[in-house]
Amino acid sequence: MGIESKDLLSMEQLDCGQVKLILQTAKEMEKIIRRDIKKVPTLRGKSVVNLFYEPSTRTRTSFELAGKYMSADVININTTASSVVKGESLKDTGKTLEAMGADIVVIRHGMAGAPKMLGSYLKSRVINAGDGFHAHPTQALLDMMTIKENLDGFQGLKVAIIGDILHSRVARSNLRGLTTMGANVWLCGPPTLIPPGLERLDARVTYNMEEALEGADVVIMLRIQLERQKTGFFPSIREYSQLYELDRRRLALARKNCLILHPGPINRGVEISGEVADSIQSYINEQVTHGVAVRMALLYLMLGQKGE
Amino acid sequence: MKLLLQGGLIIDPKSGLEKKLDLRIEEGKITEIGSNLIEGESEVLDVRGKIVAPGFIDPHVHLREPGGEANETILTGCQAAAAGGFTTISAMPNTKPCADNEGIIELVKNRGSRAGLVRVLPIGAISKGREGREIAEIGSLYKAGAVAISDDGNPVTSSEVMRRALEYTKLFGIPVISHSEDISLSAGGSMNEGYWSTVLGLKGIPAQAEEIMVARDILLAELTEGKLHLAHVSTSGSIKLLRFAKEKGIHVTAEATPHHLLLTDEEVKSYSTNTKVNPPLRGEEDVHNLRMAVKEGLVECIATDHAPWCQEEKEQEYSKAPSGISGLETAIPVIWDTLVIKGNMSWLEVIERFTVGPACVLNLDRGYLAKGHEADITVIDPNLRKEVKAENFYSKGKNTPLDGRSFQGWPVMTIVGGKVVMQDGKLKG
């Protein structure tokens, strides 16, 4: 058993069983990360290409480490220093990588649908590491791993995702993944940052942060992109924090010991207070470890088992 | 050269004629319509089981020449039109350079007639450079042969400029074609705003981006008593506004495209850039209301908004790819299949939207069959079902979301000025 479809593009394509398999595999992988010698030969002779059209530190690094811990050859393509700046199309870049023998291409792109497009051109497998506002399945999986490891399952949990929902691929992927696993997902943000049709995706929507936090088992805070203020989605960072910053006082509304997650990088004092970010309830650093584990699991399930 | 179209069902919406009759063409004109016409020395074309209709008119195509020849030329656009069953097309002015001067109007006209296939009627720009700041030399454009003016592709953002255009064109009696889009609402958007834009993470364009401008232009048409034609209306709200305008007696006409009548925004879930079009594919309710409006005649014509793009242009990320669908070679079967076979429109009604409707919008003495009138004729096989094969398009633009889909009701012959330019899907001569 592995991941059947050639590409991993979004959470919609994973059913409950597949999510469980990935999370179980990731748990095994986490043991490798915690070893002194973090190297297994599983993916020896396989090549992983990180094709990142958007800046990223943690996602790119964790894919890189995930590959390296399993002995794959990992290449990072920095698009600002490649032929992309010479105007090469995504298709041509992808074809070139395939011709060089890439087994898997991990793509991060600012435009929704780009990974799907790339996958349709290539025989290599493609993993979506975030595309526009569309999807970020590996982030959702690592968030879900963090929840599962600490709360023992998803059924009936109240998960509040708070912030800029409109522009968030993390919110969309978590919504899909978590509802598939039986959690109740609340989405919360100012009305200008809530897209239409979320109810059809089984989300509960509120503009009121207190309502979203009430009895929540998990709170996922989203990073507020500072440039959104310039395009008029909210009047000022100051006002945004007054309305939507997770601080001690608001956190008290959630269930005791509720988990606090954040995909990072965090804006201290904007969407989350420094005190809360550093508190014992914050699992932000654990998320990062799980990020490597989940990506190892995916690379293994998509590359490692074939032909063995 | 005499031709005899024998045994077809002649449908002429203008006169209401719908009868199995023969039709004779001599010297490019229709000379006889009657039963059991003698063959004599006429070449006989057996059209039994087919529908013989006035030549179809497409009031909205993009031929890309000059400036965009990689995507289409006037010749290939004319070939696509003939293959698609159209005898007259009118070409939008958003070429490079644009048709804001009589030189480009002349060029389009001349190359159109040099192609020798279908009639090409140029449309001039509303404003100089299509920039929406100053009105173009509309008088010169008209004299050179422009049948309408439009900044299509761009809205006229200034209400003042739109007002002057609607006023000034009264001098010539030609319509102002509105590309209704509030760009402050639509900027950066690449699909309809709604459930699917949320799911797909693409920036949405709300229906109101179209409707606000439709409303504005209707009010300006009321103010000026000019002739307003609304290009590619696509939303329920636009239809409500259109009804309001017509009930008030404001001079406004409208067109709908085959793709807006067939497809919904759910189509975009493939991320295929061939589904990207402006205005975007809308929701189910919009499609339903648009079909009703076409049936009712509130929207009086079908227009393809044929917007060909070469492969390289469309093979980009969805939000980066240009908008447009290559529509000339699928319009008739799409409409036939959607509105006649699966819908509730009669053959006559559909033919009317392709003939009398656009002729009325553009003030053309075309779109009907009569003795002594030019023999522009479209013959349709209402039973022919086949698949769309984009690779076989005459158009350089293979950009259609319909590739591989099957439709019933295809044009099988196009006659322009008595000359058969297409037969059985293949160009002649």
Beta carbons of A112 and B319 less than 8 Å apart? yes
Contact between residue B93 and residue B137 where contact means Cβ atoms under 8 Å apart: no
CB atoms within 10 A of CB A216: 24
The one-letter amino acid code at B228 reads L
Q: Using the predicted structure, report yes or no on whether residue A84 has a pLDDT greater than 80.
A: no
In CATH, what number does B54-361 get?
3.20.20.140
> A111, A139, A231: best mutation site toward chain B, by most B Cβ within 10 Å?
A111
Residue of B nearest to A11 (CA): B199
Q: Which of B112, B114, B116, B182 shows the shortest CA–CA distance to B147?
A: B112
Catalytic: B365?
Answer: no
**Lowest-confidence pick of A82-86, A233-237, B214-218, B289-293:** A82-86
Using a CB–CB cutoff of 8 Å, tell me whether A200 touches chain B: yes
> B208, B313, B318, B319: best mutation site toward chain A, by most A Cβ within 10 Å?
B318
Pairing mode, strands A73-78 and A47-52: parallel
Using a CB–CB cutoff of 8 Å, tell me whether A87 touches chain B: no
Nearest to B201 among A135, A197, A201 (CB): A135
**Lowest-confidence pick of A80-84, B104-108, B396-400:** A80-84
- Using one digit for the tens of pLDDT, what is the confidence trace for B147-186? 999 999 999 999 999 999 999 999 999 999 999 999 999 9
Residue of A nearest to B317 (CA): A114
Beta carbons of A112 and B316 less than 8 Å apart? no
* Residue B408 confidence class, pLDDT cut points 50, 70, 90: very high
> A54, A134, A174: best mutation site toward chain B, by most B Cβ within 10 Å?
A134
ipTM: 0.92
Q: What fold does the segment set A11-135+288-304 form as a domain? A: Rossmann fold (3.40.50)
Using a CB–CB cutoff of 8 Å, tell me whether A86 touches chain B: no
pLDDT of residue A307: 43
CA distance A85 to B85: 44
Q: What are the start and end residues of each CATH 3.40.50.1370 domain in chain A?
A: 11-135+288-304, 137-284
What residues of chain B lie within 8 A of the CB of A134, using their CB?
A: 200-202
pLDDT of residue A1: 55
CA distances from B263 to A51, A80, B277, B291 (A): 34, 38, 11, 11
Q: Could you tell me the strand order of the sheet in which B228-230 lies?
A: B149-150, B176-178, B228-230, B252-256, B301-302
Provide the shortest C-alpha distance from residue A93 to chain B (in Å).
Answer: 12
Q: Using the predicted structure, report yes or no on whether residue B214 has a pLDDT greater than 70.
A: yes
DSSP H helices, B225-279, are 236-247, 258-262
Nearest to B193 among A111, A116, A196 (CB): A196
Q: Using the predicted structure, report yes or no on whether residue A308 has a pLDDT greater than 70.
A: no
Using a CB–CB cutoff of 8 Å, tell me whether A19 touches chain B: no
Beta carbons of B316 and A89 less than 8 Å apart? yes
- DSSP summary character for residue B281: P
What residues of chain B lie within 8 A of the CB of A93, using their CB?
A: none
Using a CB–CB cutoff of 8 Å, tell me whether A196 touches chain B: yes
Contact between residue B322 and residue B309 where contact means Cβ atoms under 8 Å apart: yes
Residue of B nearest to A109 (CA): B317
pLDDT of residue A305: 65
Helix (H) or strand (E) holding B292: helix B284-296
CA distance A231 to B376: 53
Beta carbons of B197 and A195 less than 8 Å apart? yes
What residues of chain B lie within 8 A of the CB of A91, using their CB?
A: 315
Nearest to A111 among B196, B199, B320 (CB): B320
> Would you state the structure tokens that stand for residue B363, as one six-digit string?
């003030």
Pairing mode, strands B406-416 and B419-423: antiparallel
Residue of A nearest to B318 (CA): A113
Rounded CA Rg of chain B: 20
Provide the shortest C-alpha distance from residue B389 to chain A (in Å).
Answer: 20
Q: What is the pTM of this model?
A: 0.94
CA distance A147 to A100: 39
Which one has a higher pLDDT value, A88 or B122?
Answer: B122
> A7, A116, A174: best mutation site toward chain B, by most B Cβ within 10 Å?
A116
What residues of chain B lie within 8 A of the CB of A109, using their CB?
A: 317
DSSP H helices, B55-175, are 74-83, 102-115, 138-144, 159-168
Residues 92-121 of A with CB under 8 A from B: 109, 111-114, 116-117
The one-letter amino acid code at B50 reads K
pLDDT of residue B201: 97
Q: Using the predicted structure, report yes or no on whether residue A30 has a pLDDT greater than 90.
A: yes
Question: In this structure, what are the phi and psi dihedrals at residue A150, rounded to the nearest 5 degrees?
Answer: -105, -20
**Average confidence score pLDDT of chain B:** 97
CA distance B153 to B185: 15
CB atoms within 10 A of CB A225: 15
Q: Which CATH class, in words, describes the domain spanning A137-284?
A: alpha beta
What residues of chain B lie within 8 A of the CB of A131, using their CB?
A: 201
Beta carbons of A134 and B319 less than 8 Å apart? no
The catalytic residue among B151, B305, B337, B381 is B305
- DSSP summary character for residue A157: -
Using a CB–CB cutoff of 8 Å, tell me whether A169 touches chain B: yes
Beta carbons of B318 and A112 less than 8 Å apart? yes
- Using one digit for the tens of pLDDT, what is the confidence trace for A170-188? 999 999 999 999 999 999 9
What residues of chain B lie within 8 A of the CB of A195, using their CB?
A: 197-198, 204
What residues of chain A lie within 8 A of the CB of B194, using their CB?
A: 196-197
Nearest to A112 among B195, B201, B316 (CB): B201
Contact between residue A151 and residue A218 where contact means Cβ atoms under 8 Å apart: yes
Any residues with CB less than 8 A from the CB of B38 and at least 6 apart, and which? none
Q: Which of B174, B96, B103, B94 shows the shortest CA–CA distance to B127?
A: B94
Q: Which residues is B387 bridged to in the sheet?
A: B406
Domain spans, chain B? 2-52+373-427, 54-361
Report the Cα–Cα distance between both ends of chain A, in Å, rounded. 12
Chain B residues whose C-beta is within 8 A of a chain A C-beta are: 193-204, 271, 312, 315-320
Q: Can you tell me whether residue A175 is helix, strand or coil?
A: helix
Q: Which residues is A75 bridged to in the sheet?
A: A49
Beta carbons of B200 and A195 less than 8 Å apart? no
Mean pLDDT to the nearest integer, B70-94: 98
pLDDT of residue A304: 75
DSSP string, B308-367: ---HHHHSS-TTTSPP-B--TTTHHHHHIIIIIISSS--HHHHHHHHTHHHHHHTT-S-S
Contact between residue A296 and residue A74 where contact means Cβ atoms under 8 Å apart: no
Provide the shortest C-alpha distance from residue A196 to chain B (in Å).
Answer: 5
In CATH, what number does B2-52+373-427 get?
2.30.40.10
pLDDT of residue A203: 98
DSSP string, B181-205: --HHHHTT--EESSHHHHHHTPPEE
Q: Which of A250, A252, A244 shows the shortest CA–CA distance to A206?
A: A244
* Residue A3 confidence class, pLDDT cut points 50, 70, 90: confident
Q: Can you tell me whether residue A11 is helix, strand or coil?
A: helix
Q: Which residues is B88 bridged to in the sheet?
A: B57, B119
> Would you state the structure tokens that stand for residue B410, as one six-digit string?
């295809």
Residue of A nearest to B312 (CA): A89
In percent, how much of chain A has pLDDT > 90? 88
Beta carbons of A113 and B196 less than 8 Å apart? no
Any residues with CB less than 8 A from the CB of B342 and at least 6 apart, and which? none
Provide the shortest C-alpha distance from residue B271 to chain A (in Å).
Answer: 6
Q: Which of B96, B86, B111, B123 shows the shortest CA–CA distance to B379?
A: B86
Q: Half-sphere exposure of residue B299, counting CA atoms within 13 Å on the CB side?
A: 30
Beta carbons of B201 and A116 less than 8 Å apart? no
Contact between residue A77 and residue A108 where contact means Cβ atoms under 8 Å apart: no
What residues of chain A lie within 8 A of the CB of B198, using their CB?
A: 172, 195-198, 201
How many Cβ contacts (< 8 angstroms) between chains A and B? 62
